[in-house]
Amino acid sequence: MSENREQILESIKVQGEVVRKLKAAKEPKEKIDEEVAKLLRLKASLQDEPAAPQKFVLKTAKGTRDYGPQQMALRQGVLDKIIAVFKKHGAETIDTPVFELKDVLTGKYGEDSKLIYDLKDQGGEILSLRYDLTVPLARYLAMSKIQSIKRYHIAKVYRRDNPSMTRGRYREFYQCDFDIAGNFDPMLPDAECVKVVSEILKSLDIGDYVMKLNHRQLLDGMFEACGVPADKFRTICSSVDKLDKSPWAEVRKEMIDEKGLDPSAADQIGEYVRLNGGIELVEKLLDDPKLNKVPAAVNGLEAMKLLLHYCKLMNLSNEISFDLSLARGLDYYTGVIYEAVLTGEPVKATANANEESGTVGSIAGGGRYDNLVGMFDPRSRQVPCVGVSIGVERIFAVLEAKHAAAKTSIRTTDVDVYVASAHKGLHEKRLEILSQLWDAGLKTEHSYKLNPKLLAQLQHCEERGIPYALVLGDSEIERGVVKFREIATRAEVELPLNDLVAEIRKRLADGK
């Protein structure tokens, strides 16, 4: 930076302080305008000075990360398995904008609404980045007047949260949602959502897990039976939702000290939220003298009884747990709620070595939200909905950590055949054969050097996990053949040039 530029910057700093003091002292407008004009002239004079080279701090924004080829290959493999399950259950996909009108998102997330990213005024529209994919779905259904759909949606969402990279919790992350909308008989769609999560977690082979199930009506009935005022149901529910991260003593303290709940009511809640089990627990609670006097509690318990019965028919009994501590604090839930958590050894994520180590929490969650679409419909027409969201970022953190611990390499391309030259002068023949293979849809590549060394080409295949090489040589080409080499075993056979595509396809099929 030139000496003159430094002097101007210092003068701007001093003049800016003069303007601030005048404004703070509420001096006459004419005097303030005069000093502001001086400040603007100083800033304008900077344009005539050569700017110093800008220095960047090279880092990703807090709560975000980059993904390299190996990480993206692992991620894509996870998404492919998830999508396969969604499609198996007959789901179709949609997409919605990454931002919504702020009014669409406001008031749908309870205490988590403070985590919504607001954007600046854009041409008269007050916008926010989407917090999840559920509220945009409800807005889409209301706008499009859709009464029934089974859809999946995989897209990025944004939360102004305190990130924990080691637990797979980010400010920008993917959600993978599966939802069933429409008027159907009780618990049939809800039970299928449990089945979908089970199939996905089994296909990903990420370890032992349990799916916790509860019912929002039962929670409200429990709060009523324990003496919680109706206007505190949602905020107390939000406290209960923290039991997966905090001990009961801390949650109780928050209920009493921060939310003004009577200690006796908190203690009664504590007796219930420590319970979990199966249908036998439902039967026990139906006989509970406090709960069976509250219609909401009875309705919730009867619904849970039916859901657990359907889950048993689908061989899910060993994977689920009726858990009264499960609350899920989002305001829009009206019925059954779900959450899947890993039960095996804690897995440390490896996204950022500077982060404090932590374990991955919930890997799937969701529930029934029958009133959300009606909030957007001009005539308040309801479209009952139930769905689940797969915590793909947390699943990815688990799998990434497993691969890092095992030091396994992941293929980052799908190339099946590498076209190699055995000696100089064959780059044009390589291009002819490459074009033939590409036109046939075969996944193929070659060296971008005219005369690469054969050893370097074969080493490239080993490093990238390419299973086969097609080795060109003058003598073989004169006989109308090329060598087809299996990289792992180094076994070679000769293939005829005039039927090359069919022969390669046959060997690829045999190899797979």
pLDDT in tens, 101-146: 999 998 888 777 888 999 987 788 899 999 999 999 999 999 999 9
**What's the pLDDT score for residue 50?**
60
Whole-angstrom distance, CA of residue 485 vs CA of residue 487 = 6
Tokens of 152: 């999946």
The pLDDT of residue 350 is above 80: no
Alpha-carbon distances of 324 from 134, 297, 362, rounded to whole Å: 24, 12, 16
Mean pLDDT of 190-211: 95
The pLDDT of residue 357 is above 50: no
Q: pLDDT over 90 for what percent of the chain?
A: 59
pLDDT higher for 49 or 225? 225
**What's the pLDDT score for residue 358?**
47
**What's the pLDDT score for residue 242?**
85
Mean pLDDT of the chain: 89
5-19, 147-161, 361-375: segment of lowest average pLDDT: 5-19
Mean pLDDT of 315-339: 90
Question: Nearest to residue 300, comparing CAs of 275, 276, 332, 324?
Answer: 324
Confidence of residue 175 (pLDDT cuts 50, 70, 90): very high
Class of residue 341 by CB neighbours under 10 A (exposed 0-12, middle 13-18, buried 19+): buried
Q: pLDDT over 70 for what percent of the chain?
A: 94
pLDDT tens digit sequence for 45-97: 777 656 566 677 788 988 898 999 999 999 999 999 999 999 999 999 999 99
Mean pLDDT of 408-422: 92
For 440-474, give one letter per residue: b (16+ CB within 10 A) or e: eebebbbbeeeebeeeebbebbeeeebbbbbbbbe
The pLDDT of residue 471 is above 90: yes
Tokens of 331: 């305001």
Whole-angstrom distance, CA of residue 33 vs CA of residue 44 = 16
**What's the pLDDT score for residue 348?**
52
pLDDT higher for 465 or 121? 465
Q: What is the largest CA-CA distance in the chain?
A: 97
User: Best-predicted range by mean pLDDT among 100-109, 181-190, 397-406?
Assistant: 181-190
pLDDT tens digit sequence for 266-305: 999 989 988 999 999 999 999 999 898 999 999 999 999 9
**What's the pLDDT score for residue 352?**
42
Identify whether the C-beta of residue 481 lies closer than 8 Å to the C-beta of residue 495.
yes
Mean pLDDT of 387-414: 89
Prediction pTM value: 0.81
**What's the pLDDT score for residue 49?**
57
**What's the pLDDT score for residue 353?**
35
**What's the pLDDT score for residue 123?**
81
pLDDT higher for 355 or 10? 10
The pLDDT of residue 329 is above 80: no
